[in-house]
A and B are shown apart, each in its own frame.
Chain A
Amino acid sequence: MSTKVFVAGVGVISSIGNKVAENLHALEHSKPGMGEMSLLQSVHKTLPVAEVKRSNAELVAATGLPAHTTRTALLSSIAAREAFDDAAIPGFDRLRTGFISANTVGGMDKSEDFFVTFHANAATGRLRDVVNHECGSATEIVADQLGIRNYISTISTACSSSANAIFFGARLIKYGQLDVVIAGGADALAKFTLNGFNSLMILDQEFCKPFDENRKGLNLGEGAGYVVLVSEKVAATLNKPVYCSLSGYCNANDAYHQTASSPDGTGSFLAMKGALEQSGLTAADISYINLHGTGTQNNDIAEGAAIKQLFAPHYPKMSSTKSFTGHTLGGCGGIEAVFSVLSIKHGITYPNLRFHTQMKELPFAPETSFSKNVPVQHVLSNSFGFGGNCSSLIFSTL
């Protein structure tokens, strides 16, 4: 049993950088990752996407994985390895270790190509392009690389997937089942998801404007983010200080609609409220909220309404870093957890890019600039998804 769970390492790859330092640099200098589609092959060329600026061949070279590895597994490998190396846990091999990852469409980036050929003739299509279709496949590729065997699992709850992976990992440590868990998630851009969100008419033709009165939708992105969670016992053996603790978490369901959020954000409210209760904090203790903030009409009003209900009349700083990375689906809970951890570690908060007009329904507005040397005690990170799956995490200073 461990009463507290600490973050001992972080790793991230996204459209704004291939590692933590590059992501931080882009966040500080307001450099978003969206742009013209260059790697994804789709007819919707005019839609901005937030691509990781590395081809599969480059990712293969960087990871040492086989050439046909799915892009989701490649991204996962890069970020998980960075987090693993960052934590540098002494005697890792002797500890009970787990890898809990998340994604939304598994190896779809390869299987959608397989399907074109297969659809024409069911006896054709290269099997190596579909063999890693299952969501759990990417997790195993990376767990095997890192030598993690005691516990591996994969969660898929749409856009809240990797927040739930981090949450589950922390509980396994608290229960005494594991000593160390690398948890987070990954997703690569795919025609399947691009067309899915396009068919829902929630993609912005321009760069997204989360929490802006004139927001028009989200931009899809790709990437991976992982944190290394450790027990108190392992934390005491580290050769450097831990980043922070994971003090609160909660998962609730909106139970309103398969894709739309309820107007008052019931699920979001319950997730944030539950996370506060779990951490023993009150709303006034939160220094910064890393918003789910996709930029869709529906999400931002629901999330905003829930924040209003929980935080009024005093609002903490808040921003959606999806204005940098786009919406990375199964990766966003992990990527934003890393940004939340860095916010505490460095005393920084991030801008919400392209915010101009406050939403008329809300009495607050997100941050518009990067702030340094600010006291950040507790960060709330929101991840809400299709199926009403809402999860909130709280990271706290020691």
Chain B
Amino acid sequence: MKKYILSTGNISPQQTFGQPFTQAEIITYTGNRMAAAEPDYSKLIDVKLIRRMSRIIKLGVAAAMECLQKANINAPDAIITGTAYGCLQDTEVFLTRLVENKEELLAPTAFIQSTHNTVGAQIALMLKCHAYNNTFVHRGFSFESALLDGCLLLEEQKANTVLIGGIDEITDTSHAILTRLGLYRRGAKGGEGAAFFLLANQPSGSDYARLDGMETLYKPKTVRDVEAAIQSFLAANGIGMHDVDLVITGQNGDAKGDAIYKQLSAVVWNNTPATGFKHLCGEYPTATAFALWLAAEILKEGKAPPAVGQVTVDKPVKRILICNHFQNIHHSFFLLTAC
């Protein structure tokens, strides 16, 4: 199912929003938390609305609005979001008041905005968009599920354009808990962001890239299973590894998790240049949305922007394979081609 990426909108720990990323300098982070660089929202969202929105809602809505504005579309045929953690800040605010006030005299606002579909709902509300609206919340497959749903709608001819986004936020509480759970123990840094895409069945003539396919793999038993899945994914798309110009991997600095990419690299892409992306956005369950955005940027330019760092490709980048895993539970692969 080949789909065209008409436009993108991305708020991340890098300068990815409202300006070309081609010349942006990398922002480096010390410590284990990479926070999204929030833009001036007032250019995209009504000031009265901004005041009521929590951080993740602002991140998501602004990224979605930029994506739509770039394509000059204000009524997509579907709005589909993926978020593993949902609206943590509002959840936490409501929980805190619940505990502190012993379940008495609670204001409903935080509860109302705590539901996982809030970002998708707010986008629909702002656009007065009655179209298909869905939210996937499956950990490291949240964004992948949203993307599959959107591609299916296009395939079923139920939609001409679908707006798809991956959004997750870090709060002080979630960061403390994830740190205690050991996610950043071996070198990974926590990240967050909101990346949206407008996908279409037909090329527009000015697309970022073409999404050729996406595949997920749940809890592989061995790295060989991952290797086989990648090979069959490429074969299903009628290509081999030699047709891929650049591999973008989900290496995140965690020695154990990165060992998987090292093994794959030795076998699957030993002759193909590879780069990571989580040094730019950090690790989070919907980080593949950032990876897809980066791949689209690279394919539009034909080369990797300087902020990506050292990656030598001796020809224009025409085809990219993204290989990511989250906690070695959720593996996903994306294949993109330049338009």
Write the residues of chain A forming the contact surface with B, with a CB cutoff of 8 angstroms.
Answer: 42-44, 104, 106, 112, 115-116, 118-119, 122-123, 127, 130-131, 134-137, 139-140, 143-144, 149-158, 164, 168, 171-172, 175, 191-192, 195-196, 198-200, 251-259, 266-267, 270, 385-389
From B91, B111, B113, B115, give the contact of A199 (CB < 8 A): B111
The CA-CA distance from A156 to B102 in the complex, in Å, is 28
Assess A386 versus B145: contact at CB under 8 Å? Given A104-B115, A127-B180, A270-B130.
no
Chain A residues contacting B173 (CB-CB under 8 Å) are: 118, 122
B-side interface mostly? mixed
The CA-CA distance from A270 to B180 in the complex, in Å, is 46
Flag whether B98 is at the interface (Cβ < 8 A). yes
Considering only CB atoms, which chain B residue lies closest to A148 in the complex? B218
Pairwise interchain contact A152-B141, C-beta atoms closer than 8 A: yes
Assess A200 versus B117: contact at CB under 8 Å? Given A155-B137, A251-B132, A253-B131.
no
Supplied contacts A192-B111, A195-B94, A255-B128, 4 more A-B pairs, CB within 8 Å: A115-B95, A130-B177, A152-B141, A256-B125
Pairwise interchain contact B180-A116, C-beta atoms closer than 8 A: no
Assess A135 versus B181: contact at CB under 8 Å? Given A175-B152, A252-B132, A388-B125.
no
Pairwise interchain contact A43-B102, C-beta atoms closer than 8 A: yes
Chain A residues contacting B135 (CB-CB under 8 Å) are: 155-157, 389
Flag whether B290 is at the interface (Cβ < 8 A). no
Assess A158 versus B111: contact at CB under 8 Å? Given A252-B131, A253-B129.
no
Write the residues of chain B forming the contact surface with A, with a CB cutoff of 8 angstroms.
Answer: 79, 84-86, 91, 94-96, 98-100, 102-104, 106-108, 111-118, 120-122, 124-125, 127-139, 141-142, 145, 149, 152, 155-156, 173, 176-177, 180-181, 216, 218-219, 329
Chain A residues contacting B152 (CB-CB under 8 Å) are: 171-172, 175
Taking the closest CB of chain A, its distance from the CB of B300, in whole angstroms, is 29
The CA-CA distance from A199 to B93 in the complex, in Å, is 14
From A131, A192, A257, A389, give the contact of B117 (CB < 8 A): A389
Pairwise interchain contact A164-B134, C-beta atoms closer than 8 A: yes
The CA-CA distance from A386 to B111 in the complex, in Å, is 11
Pairwise interchain contact B124-A388, C-beta atoms closer than 8 A: yes
Considering only CB atoms, which chain A residue lies closest to B106 in the complex? A199
Assess A158 versus B85: contact at CB under 8 Å? Given A149-B219, A164-B134, A255-B127.
no
Pairwise interchain contact B130-A252, C-beta atoms closer than 8 A: yes
Residue among B103, B113, B121, B176 with most chain A CB within 10 A:
B121
Considering only CB atoms, which chain B residue lies closest to A135 in the complex? B137
Chain A residues contacting B177 (CB-CB under 8 Å) are: 118, 127, 130
Pairwise interchain contact B106-A139, C-beta atoms closer than 8 A: no
Pairwise interchain contact A258-B118, C-beta atoms closer than 8 A: yes
Chain A residues contacting B218 (CB-CB under 8 Å) are: 143, 149-152
Chain B residues contacting A143 (CB-CB under 8 Å) are: 218
Assess A253 versus B138: contact at CB under 8 Å? Given A195-B103, A198-B106.
no
Taking the closest CB of chain B, its distance from the CB of A78, in whole angstroms, is 21
Pairwise interchain contact B138-A168, C-beta atoms closer than 8 A: no
From A115, A140, A175, give the contact of B99 (CB < 8 A): A115
From B103, B125, B128, give the contact of A43 (CB < 8 A): B103
Chain A residues contacting B127 (CB-CB under 8 Å) are: 255
Chain A residues contacting B122 (CB-CB under 8 Å) are: 258
Pairwise interchain contact B111-A157, C-beta atoms closer than 8 A: no
The CA-CA distance from A154 to B107 in the complex, in Å, is 29
Considering only CB atoms, which chain B residue lies closest to A252 in the complex? B130
Pairwise interchain contact A153-B115, C-beta atoms closer than 8 A: no
